[in-house]
Structures are given as structure tokens and as C-alpha cells.
Amino acid sequence: MANSLSHALYTAEQVRQLDHNAIQHQGIPGYALMELAGKAAFQLLLRCCQQWFGTDAYQLQVLCGSGNNAGDGYIVAGLAGQKGIDVKVVAVGDPDKLKGDALTAYQWCQEQSVPIIPWQTDLQLTADVFVDALLGTGLKGPVRETYAHVIEQLNNTYKPVIAVDIPSGLCADTGAELGVAVKASHTITFIGRKQGLYTHQGRELAGDVHFAGLAVPEMVYHTTPCSSYLLDPSHFVSALPRRHKNSHKKEFGHLVLIGGDHGMGGAITMAAETALHAGVGLVSVVTRPAHVGGLQARCPEIMTVGCDNPDQIPRLLIEKTTLVIGPGLGQSPWSRQCLLAAINSGLPLVIDADGLNLLAMEPTLLEHKQSDWLLTPHPGEAARMLGVSTQQIQKNRFASVEQLANQYQSTVVLKGAGSLVCTKGLIQLANVGNPGMAVGGMGDVLSGLLGALLAQGMTTAKAAGLGTWLHSRSADQLAEIVGGHYGLKPTELIPLIRKQINQIAVKSKYG
């Protein structure tokens, strides 16, 4: 995985180091890289405009700041001028402040007779399509007033925007919006994929993300370690157990799911049904007696035990493989006793929902940890676990998931747009999923899937990676089937998850 350059994600500083090494150690002129970046952005622009307009007869405005990002924009504008496109540059940054390669690009753009219009507060953005080359990856604090005004006006045009390297106003490291940010239709990023494009607000603001390596030699990438990786399911499929013709159900684990306090039987039912569809050999549920009948009627393959007395749980866990606790668990004394029994079992454990909330309320429960844990918080649960606000979690999701993994000595899936998986310092990002997943029950399906993979012998790290990807990818498939993101039901993911597992297993000859 460490050698998978196509999946590597970088911080802005890491990409600056890559750029520096390419120039200083490989002898690649900085302006040559800028030219390649401009050409790559221009080619993307042409492809998009052909799709949008079907002709070259459109008006283009390129918005330029005063840094190297502006240099890329000036090259795009010059290339558009050469092709006869109706193009203008709106110089929001003073061209007199340009230096080095960006200044050279500006001068070249002038030579192509492209009109360059200084920004004024009464200037209206009126083109059919825009290129955003205002602010690059070096932005740290909130966008300054002039640029904020331009960005707000640009967003209010509701016209297509191609962002160069990163949408202006988006933090390249965290995916947080720095006051205000461009909402791009497409973003083309260079040399290294910026991790902020793929999570939190980056998922919304970057649009479709494209990558151009600018012919930087592979050896350059070995000089600077990346920050994280895009999840690649092919790295985990070999951990799926082989299905031999003489297989026995006990070879594929016995998963127990604990949850479903009064009035919350649906959550544990969804988790258990998902686990059964994900290939585990045996599935048992420990829940309140009131839920037994409904669960057995819906899915008779699941063994169900009604339990009002958590003291009975230890004997129910004899010879079991893995536990999931949290779906519909609640926060009653019964819930707390169930969680303690699960922790004391020493079995590999997936903790979700109110299991996490109870853990946050009583951190001393961590002292009883005897096995590998896989924790699956959403940002609100993560905030309670770390004693901070949800806003602080979202401000830097990468730092948050790493802190959770360290503090709880566990593999952690931080759910949300661009879910993050962290284990032993390695962070992976699921570049799948959609807004239709923002509905109750999605997390229960995920916890059941993760428990099933663990019960079949996968490590917490591999189960978290493959399970998170399968869950979100199935939601994308469901959105394709129903034609949008409205009304996705978590239970509708379950057969799609099963189908995907089988497809992966067949392709890898592990079926």
C-alpha cells in the first residue's frame, strides 16, 4: 500500500516539498511544471465545455490572484486565446505583485492578446464558464474581504467553474471551508492529491476531482511520505476466507450482536440482518425480550435471545467469535451492564452508537479492554469521546480520527463525507458514498457488516477498510438504481453489500 502512488494523499506542505524536490533535485524548471499544469487544466476545460455547450462559442472568464495558482490561470487564459475562445482574465490580485514563474505566465498571457481586467467592486461576472485561479493551497486563515466578495459573486452566478489545484477558500489539509469557498463543478489538482479535496466540505466544494501528476518522476515521491491514502478494496480481498466445497458454517465465525433496548429493536435487527448477508456462519442477537418475536419473524436465520438480565450474557458468549454492541443499545443501566459484559468477554469488539456514548460517559471502561476494538463514531459521537465540540472534530477530521485511535487504542472509522479509517497511525479515506446516507440506520448496517468481516477472521484494520468501502459503495449503487439521493433506505443496502462481496470474491478467486 505504501507504494500505491495513485492512492496517496498529501498535505499542502508535503506537495510543496514534492514540487521543490522535482525542481531542485530532478532539474525540472518550475515554469515547465506551471505550463504543464495550465495545459492540463485547459484540456479539462475543453472536455467539460464540449459536454456542457457542444461548441467553442462560449464566454470564459479566468479569475486570477497573485500567487503561483494565478500563474496556472494565466496559462489557461493564454491557451484559450490561442484557440480563439472568447476569454478574459479578471485580475483580482495585482499583477504587479506577481513574481517568478507566475510573472512569466502573466507576461506570456499578455503576448496572446488576452484582455486582462483589474477587479473592481462594481464589476459583474457574466461569463458562461469560469476558471478559479484565485487562491492556492497556501491559504491558512479566513479568506480576505476582497476575495470573499469575488467568491460569493462567483458562486451566485450558478455557472460551471473549473478550479485550478483546489477551490479557492478550501483548506487543502482538512477539507474545511475557510470562511467562504468556491463551489466548483470540477477540480484538477497537481503533483499530489490534496487530502482536503476528499473529505468534509471538500466533497461538496471540489465537484469531480481530477489528478495530473505533471510527469514528475516516481523517485520524487519516495522522498516525501504521504499523509494518508484513498481506500482501495483490492488490498483487503485476500483476507476474505476461502469458500471450499466442504466448508462448514463454524469456519466462518459466530457473531453475537447486543443491543435493542426498549423501543429500539429496529437498529439491532438491521445490524444482524446485514451480518448474515455478509457471509458470517452464525448470527446471534441478545436483546430485550419484546423484540424477539419481530426479529425472528423478519429473519428466522438469526438466533435470538431475550435478555433483561445482563448477568446472563457471559454464558451466552461461550465459544463465540466476535461481538457487535451499540445498535439500539440505549443508555440505561441495562445498556451499561451489557457493554461491560461485552468488554469483559475479551472477544474482538465492534462498538457503535450508544456503545460509544457510554464509553464517552464512563472512560474508565477503557481500563477493561482486553481485545481488539473497532469503533465507528459519527462526528457527534467522536466529539463526546474526545470531550470537544462537533465543530472541532470537523475542523480537522484527520487529526481527530488519529487522536481517537490513539486515545482508545483501537481501529477507528470516523464516519461522514469522506469517511476516515485509522489504525496504528495509518489513515485511509473512503472516496465513495453520497448524501442519501444521511438517514437513521445507515450506521447500524455498517456495524453489522464490520462485525461479520471480523468474525470471518479479518483483522480490525482490514475489516474497517473493506467494510467502510463496501458500505458506501453500495449506497452509491443504490442511488444509481433509484435515480438520486432521496429516500435511500438502509435495509436496501443489504442485498447490494452481499452482491458486492461475492463479486469481489469471484474476481480475486477467493469465493
Where is the binding site for AMP, in residues?
A: 415-419, 443
d(CA 365, CA 381): 16
Binding residues for K(+): 69, 132, 168
Q: Which helix (H) or strand (E) holds 141?
A: none
d(CA 197, CA 181): 12
Using alpha carbons only, give the angle 496, 286, 322 rounded to the nearest 5 degrees: 65
CB atoms within 10 A of CB 147: 23
Paired with 375 in beta bridges are: 351, 412
Binding residues for (6S)-NADPHX: 136-142, 147, 165, 267, 328, 378, 444
d(CA 305, CA 195): 45
456 sits in the region (left: phi over 0; alpha: psi -120 to 50; else beta) called alpha
Name the nearest CA neighbour of 454 among 303, 240, 234, 238.
240
Grid cell 424477539 — which residue? 292
Binding residues: 69, 132, 136-142, 147, 165, 168, 267, 328, 378, 415-419, 443-444
Pairing label, strands 420-423, 411-414:
antiparallel
Contact 488, 436 (CB under 8 A): yes
C-alpha torsion sign, points 28, 29, 31, 35: negative
Q: What three-state secondary structure class fits 273?
A: helix
CB atoms within 10 A of CB 384: 17
Pairing label, strands 426-429, 303-306:
unpaired
Grid cell 497537481 — which residue? 190
Residue count of the chain: 511
d(CA 49, CA 60): 10
Cβ-based neighbours of 159, under 8 Å, separated by 6 or more: 127, 128, 129, 130
